[in-house]
Chain A
Amino acid sequence: MISNAISLMIAIPLLGAVISFFAGSKAKFVALIASFIPLVLSLQMYMEFDKTSKMMQFVESYTWVPSLGVKYTLGVDGIGFPLLLLSTIVSILVIIYSWGEHNKPNQYFALLLLNEVGVLGVFTALDFFLFYIFWEVVLIPMYFLIGCWGGPRKDYAAIKFFIYTHVASLVMLLAIFALYFTYQLPDGSRTFDMLTLLQATSDKTVFPTGLLNIIFAGLLFGFLVKMPAFPFHTWLPDAHVEAPTAGSVVLAALLLKMGSYGIFRIILPMLPSVDKAFVTIIAVIAVLSIVYGALMALAQKDIKKLVAYSSVSHMGFVTLGAVAFTWMSIQGAMFQQFSHGIITCVLFMSAGTIQHVVGTRVIADLGGLADRMPKFAVIMMAGFMASLGLPGMSGFVAEFMVLTGSYATLPVYTMIVVFLSIAITAAYHLWAMQKAMFGPILKKYMDVHDPHAYELFSMSMIIVLTLIFGLQPGLITGMMGTAAYQLMEPVMTLSQMGVI
């Protein structure tokens, strides 16, 4: 493996963004190349990734601002790597899906590439300072994607998105500062090193429980807003409805994962040291998100809004699995975020395709589209099935693992509520599908036809991926298991975890 692979992976889309900004109508080719190289690099990394190692891999570390304790440190483990892979896959597929973009394509593709830069940075940064920079970098391209290419209420949605998530990240920043200013290295200096600080949080003499609770709450708030979890989700439907399709895909598939990544990377290592009441609070938030997201999705008229709420519901499983804190549930939650990342792409792409082929996304106005768009209908159907958790596809495995794992530690009525909401999930998916795609075709839609090949290509690639990971989850759960094991290690013995 070439050295500095992760830096290279971040640098190439950044360079690509600059070039495509000046490339005019050729921008899409630049974007394709600039997102293809990171994909190849990440696959190469996958081959070389040691799935049984608990250490950070592909680590690069350079001093940056030594006097402030800021280092440029990147690295991945079983928590970060699946998301890194997800980012490179989704980024290139989104770029292919957007091949036909005519409105200022140079800026459009540049922004998509910048987004990739930001999320790759977030998933690999091991220094809180660097982490925060990438965290903020992501906001800017998404703000412009919504604001410049969005729907009728784009200004409102863009500002709401920015302010809402920026306030959340400021709260997170305050918590990071509290970590930074409280902990002193033996020589008296401070550090932003993520792993060092997280390890220090278990030291009661440095971080008394009262202080740690406040820090923990701040970090948790930052991540829950980003995920988003009920009741901090209100920015999401607005942002999704107004965003262009590619923006929605990136938002749901990658940006939301920044929040859940934070849960695994930062919240879970701290969880054993904070007040036990937090477990209950997070579990309640998780269950409410699952149920509320599902119920809201059921009530939506706009198919895109339906998909947006389904994200809230599915991300609830991630929170639930994480907080249940068993080896199986954590693994399942990690797999759920990966799986949701790919499945949601096809859902948002479907909504986007319906919008531009038919001209409306209101479910009641649609009907019988499968007649005229047979290929699209098959792919969309597969996507919806994956999303509702059909066995054989990745969503099923993930939710199964979360629920089986959570059963051991969470009260049984939690499970009952969640199972009920799975029924609702199936209901809204099937109902929307049936209403929009099947039944007799409406007269006005007689001349619609299948979308462009590049759109179908991106969507079908994702279906292939959901099948691969649904039938062979071990491809990625191996490393997740190692990571989950490491998260559990401080609190439980192996037999308690059910490993042996």
Chain B
Amino acid sequence: MDFGHYAPLWGEALLTVLAVLIVLLGSLMKNSGKLMGYLSLAGLAVAFGLVTSNLIIAKPAIFFFGTISVDSLSQFFKAVFLVVSLLVVIASLSKYTGKGAEDYYALLLFATVGMMVVASSIDLVTLFVGFELASLSTYALAAFDKSKKNLEAAMKYFIFGSVSSSLMLFGFSLFYGMAGSTRLADIAAASLANFGPATLVALLFVIAGFAFKMALVPFHMWAPDTYEGAPALVSALLAAGSKKMGFAAAFRVLLIALIALRMDWYLAFAILAAITMTLGNLAACWQNNVRRILAYSSIAQAGYIAIGFVVVGAAYGAAPVTSFNGIAVPAAQLGIAGALLLVLGHALMKTGAFIGTAQVASMVAGKGQDTDPDDISNYAGLSSRAPITAFCMLIFMFALAGIPPTAGYIGKFVLFSSAIYSGLVWLAVLAILNSALSLVYYLRIISYMYLKKPVGPKISEPKGYVAALVLTLIAVIWIGVFPQGFIDWALQAAAVLLPQ
């Protein structure tokens, strides 16, 4: 067997082996200390290096009988997933150590591998397997601290997750029945329209399945409860990583396999996007629990990202609308690129914000208070209690609201402009107004952190959290100040989904 042939997949292989190794080592060693954390960190860093050394791929490499494709798009998503996992592991170094930690890191690695498989799959069955690998690992992670709240969160997440998986699988099976193949390319080639209403039913199931994962209204109910109840670092992984996996899958399935049905799903996504961002932002204004605020904010962000689908549906195959450096760019490509940039930006900002809440929760937890550790009152005067955390949170909040120059605005800018170019001015204006509305609750968190009197003395900030926060902060600002390279990268990745 020629291992060199599989070089583009070494990252996945490495992480799988490492995860198994960690479980084995953990059961052999009495007390592993921080070893497991560092091992996963090293593994993820190597995998990240492998992916980023090969970001732009001119000709997709196809593996395993046409089920896995390594192309610019898969590399984009893999980079996002690996960054999120890396940051989560860095932050976890201060929390999950010693006996039992091996399970945590192993599950986290398995979840990452699952997401990476989803990013690459061009076959419905492979995609589903990746999906389930990531989901099952995160179900367990959501209950990892074994508190009552954890269990409730994990239970909800599990039930909703498995229902959505089965809906999706059912939809897949219908498409398999129609096309006679599970390959995305074969489904695209089959004339689905001949099957009449059955295609619509199948499409409905598939969209519902994805919408659960992406937490689009009305399939979003699980998200606030789960993000609130799961361990904060796991919430970071869920909101920033596993949710983006839903987008990775939906991009491939809808834009490659089901592009012929775009007139059907385009309208559905237009409505879902409009309702999701508005409801998400409105609901966030009334929450008192910071993690619930972040959960609703990430629902709203999912609404923005979903604009990408609408734009593709509306502008597929249309003539280029603008030119970048003399190269004509169609609105559809711009829409996907914008959605990808927002995926990247949001993944970073949300990871950062959830790590921040983990930090605050860990400070409060030591006090033995029985109040809710994520209540916004615990953030009062955070700027003098934990200045680094507070400052990072401040920037993440502004970035989430889309204030330049941060990673938050660049994705929104590209995405909303693509909506305007494709004639969806109403959607763009609604999205911009929503961004303004979102500032209300972000500002509320900021005013608690900076304007209120501190509720306790200054606290030392654990190094792991601080390192993760500062790294995220640098990334968020870097993307905002030097966006050109990221825009080009996202455009390359977007081109994979469109006919050349």
The 8 A CB mask of A166-184 against B (1 = contact, 0 = none) is: 1100100110010001001
With beta carbons under 8 angstroms apart, the residue of A66, A136, A148, A177 that contacts B450 is A148
Contacts of B487 on A, CB cut-off 8 Å?
A: 65, 67-68
B369 within 8 A of A: no
Complex formed: what's the CA distance from A129 to B483 in Å?
13
B20 within 8 A of A: no
Q: Which of A157-201 contact B (CB under 8 A)?
A: 158-159, 162-163, 166-167, 170, 173-174, 177, 181, 184, 187-190
Q: Given A159-B443, A163-B440, are A68 and B326 also a contact pair (CB < 8 Å)? A: no
B64 within 8 A of A: no
Complex formed: what's the CA distance from A187 to B325 in Å?
9
Complex formed: what's the CA distance from A167 to B435 in Å?
10
Q: Given A136-B403, A148-B451, A189-B322, are A67 and B488 also a contact pair (CB < 8 Å)? A: yes
Contacts of A68 on B, CB cut-off 8 Å?
A: 324, 413-414, 483, 487
Contacts of B403 on A, CB cut-off 8 Å?
A: 136
B14 within 8 A of A: no
A221 to chain B, nearest CB (A): 14
Contact: B404 with A147, CB < 8 Å? no
A305 within 8 A of B: no
The 8 A CB mask of B441-454 against A (1 = contact, 0 = none) is: 00100010011000
B157 within 8 A of A: no
Complex formed: what's the CA distance from A129 to B435 in Å?
17
Contact: B483 with A65, CB < 8 Å? yes
Complex formed: what's the CA distance from A166 to B417 in Å?
21
A77 to chain B, nearest CB (A): 25
How many residues of B are in contact with the other chain, CB < 8 A? 32
Contacts of B405 on A, CB cut-off 8 Å?
A: 133
Contacts of B443 on A, CB cut-off 8 Å?
A: 159, 162-163
B201 within 8 A of A: no
Contact: B325 with A158, CB < 8 Å? no
Q: Given A133-B405, A163-B439, are A67 and B451 also a contact pair (CB < 8 Å)? A: no
Contact: A133 with B326, CB < 8 Å? no
Interface residues of B, dominant DSSP: helix
Q: Which of A129, A148, A189 has the most CB of B within 10 A?
A: A189
B17 within 8 A of A: no
B421 within 8 A of A: yes
With beta carbons under 8 angstroms apart, the residue of B322, B325, B440 that contacts A66 is B325
Interface residues of A, dominant DSSP: helix
Contact: B404 with A190, CB < 8 Å? no
Complex formed: what's the CA distance from A177 to B412 in Å?
13
Contacts of A162 on B, CB cut-off 8 Å?
A: 439, 443
A428 to chain B, nearest CB (A): 33
Contacts of B439 on A, CB cut-off 8 Å?
A: 162-163, 166
Q: Which of A415-455 contact B (CB under 8 A)?
A: none
With beta carbons under 8 angstroms apart, the residue of B326, B429, B432, B450 that contacts A187 is B326
A144 within 8 A of B: yes
Contact: A189 with B432, CB < 8 Å? no
The 8 A CB mask of A141-159 against B (1 = contact, 0 = none) is: 0001001100000110011
Q: Which of A245-270 contact B (CB under 8 A)?
A: none
Contacts of A140 on B, CB cut-off 8 Å?
A: 398
Complex formed: what's the CA distance from A158 to B446 in Å?
12
Contacts of A49 on B, CB cut-off 8 Å?
A: none
Q: Given A148-B451, A155-B447, are A177 and B484 also a contact pair (CB < 8 Å)? A: no
Q: Given A132-B404, A170-B436, A177-B420, are A189 and B451 also a contact pair (CB < 8 Å)? A: no
Q: Give 16 new A-B contacts, CB below 8 A, not counting A166-B436, A184-B322.
A: A65-B487, A66-B325, A67-B325, A68-B413, A132-B404, A133-B404, A144-B451, A148-B450, A148-B451, A159-B443, A159-B447, A163-B440, A163-B443, A187-B326, A189-B322, A189-B326
Chain B residues proximal to chain A, CB less than 8 Å: 320, 322-326, 328, 398, 403-405, 413-414, 417, 420-421, 429, 432-433, 435-436, 439-440, 443, 447, 450-451, 483-484, 487-488, 491
The 8 tightest CB contacts between A and B, nearest first, are A67-B324, A188-B323, A147-B451, A189-B323, A133-B404, A170-B436, A65-B484, A181-B420
